[in-house]
Amino acid sequence: MRALLLTFAALLALLALTVWIGSLELGRVTIALSLGVAFLKAALIVTVFMHLRDAGTMIRIAALGGFLWLGVLFWLTFGDVARRDAGADAPLEPTLVPPRDGKSSGSGE
Partner 1 sequence: MADRDTLPRPNYLLDGGTTLKRWLLTTDHKRVAWLYMVSITFFFLLGSAAALLMRLELLTPEGDLLTAEMYNRMFSLHGIIMVWFFLVPAIPATLGNFLIPLMIGAKDLAFPRLNLLSWYIYAFGAAFTVWATVAGGVDTGWTFYTPLSSMFANGNVSAAILGVFIVGFSSILTGINFIVTVHRMRAPGMTWFRLPLFVWANYATAIIMVLATPVLAITLLLVFVERAFGIGIFDPALGGDPLLFQHLFWFYSHPAVYIMILPGMGVVSELVACFARKRVFGYGLMAGSILAIAFLGFLVWGHHMFVSGQAAYAGLMFGLLSFLVAVPSAIKVFNWTATLFRGSIVLETGMLYALGFIGLFTIGGLTGLMLASMAIDVHVHDTYFVVAHFHYIMVGGMVMAYLGGLHFWWPKLTGRLYNEFWGRFSAVAIFVGFNLTFFPQFIMGYQGMPRRYHSYTPEYEPWHVLSSAGAVLLAIGYFLPLLNLGWSMLRGRAAGDNPWGATGLEWRTTSPPPPHNFRNPPVVQREAYDYGSDDAPVPDREMPR
Partner 2 sequence: MSERPEALRFQFEDLDQQRAADEFGMWVFLLTEVLFFGALFLVYAVARWNHPEAFIDGSHLLNATLGTVNTAILLTSSLAIAVADLAVREDARRLARWMLSATLLLGLAFLAVKGYEYLLEYRHHRVPFLDRPFEWPGPDAREGRLFFNLYFAMTGLHALHLVVGCGLVCAMLWLNERSRLPARLTAQVRAAGLYWHFVDVVWVFLFPLLYLVR
Q: Label residue 14 exposed, middle or buried (CB < 10 Å: 0-12, 13-18, 19+).
A: middle
The CA distances from residue 89 to 77, 82, 84, in Å, are 21, 15, 11
Question: Around Cβ 60, how many Cβ atoms within 10 Å?
Answer: 14
Q: Footprint of partner 1 on residues 33-52 (CB under 8 A)?
A: none
Residue 74: name its binding partner from partner 2, partner 1, none (Cβ under 5 to 8 Å by kind).
partner 2
Q: Which of 42, 53, 79, 99 binds partner 2 (CB under 8 A)?
A: 42
Q: Which of 38, 53, 79, 99 binds partner 2 (CB under 8 A)?
A: 38
Query: What is the helix (H) or strand (E) element at residue 40, kind and residue range?
Result: helix 28-44
Minimal CA–CA distance to 39: which of 71, 3, 78, 76? 71
Residue 22 in contact with residue 35, Cβ under 8 Å? no
**Minimum distance between the CB of residue 61 and partner 1, rounded to whole angstroms?**
10
Q: Which of 58, 90, 96, 97 binds partner 1 (CB under 8 A)?
A: 58
Residues that bind partner 2 (CB under 8 A): 1, 4-5, 7-8, 11-12, 15, 18-19, 21-22, 25, 30-31, 34-35, 37-38, 41-42, 45-46, 48-50, 55-56, 58-59, 62-63, 65-67, 69-70, 73-74, 77-78, 81-82
